[in-house]
Amino acid sequence: MKSTAIIIAGLALTGLLSACSGHKPVKTVSTSKESATKVVKPQARADRNLYYLPPPPMPDQRTVADVLQAYGPYASHKLSQYFAKAKVSYPPREVAFIALKQEKKLELWARDSGEFRFIRNYNIQAASGVAGPKLRQGDKQVPEGIYRIVGLNPNSNYHLSMKLNYPNEFDHFHAWQEGRANPGSDIFIHGKAASIGCLAMGDEAIEELFVLAAQVGTDNMKVVIAPHDPRTYPLEAGTLGLPEWTHELYSNISREIKALSPVEKSAKRGL
């Protein structure tokens, strides 16, 4: 009976530890030719009065190819209609996501050649934190900046997920300057509707975005995350407590968004 009680207590603690970091242990599969598959294995630990029983390593339940087989036909059919309306071939050559925290919108832009064209909007189901960049592990902030997708996880605890390269070079540099040893990591665009620093899109939306990423290739994608839409009103870094370098960050974000979506070309973004 005593051992049974210990096991039950350990399993309960395991459930409490699930969060956005619950993507681990996972196999993160990148579409980049040079990226290697990495499996992160959990480790047991003994506390004073409780033996922690880690969950078993997640089996390779499915691959990116399995996801494409399961969701690809429907997602591609649905997306191709939006692409046809925008006069962009499907799948396109390049894709850009513009994520707006205040508006809780993720815009999909794409191009074959020339300028990017607006394809469609997605509602962000959850994005924890407030306006301002992510600074440290555990602050529950969705980061702000210009990022890349570096891996596709078909076995996410949040249905499907796409890993961002946070912290990027800009984030690393300013963390080093300020002596912040742990700026955080494991930031994803994923399914479901719960967020602790990630962009939660819901399951149907992440199926479309995951399929699109797999077909286009993560090397041909970028993700811009802003506190609000700078095409509506300027990004200001005057909020009390934001680092001085936030002015530079917001200037970079504004310039990138306006380059991707000139004002005169983005009148249909409300579709």
Q: In the annotation, is 190 catalytic?
A: yes
Q: Of the residues 23, 172, 190, 247, which is catalytic?
A: 190
Dihedrals phi, psi of 64, to nearest 5 degrees: -60, -40
Write a three-state SS string for the chain. CHHHHHHHHHHHHHHHCCCHHHHCCCEEECCCCCCCCEECCCCCEECCCCEECCCCCCCCCCCHHHHHHHHHHHHHHHHHHHHHHHCCCCCCCEEEEEEECCCCEEEEEEECCCCCEEEEEEECCEECCCCCCCCCCCCCCCCCEEECEEEEECCCCCCCEEEECCCCHHHHHHHHHHCCCCCCCCCEEECCCCCCCCEECCHHHHHHHHHHHHHHCHHHEEEEEECCCCCCCCCCCCCCCCCCCHHHHHHHHHHHHHHHCCHHHCCCCCC
Q: Of the residues 23, 77, 198, 228, which is catalytic?
A: 198
Q: In the annotation, is 228 catalytic?
A: no
Catalytic residues: 190, 198
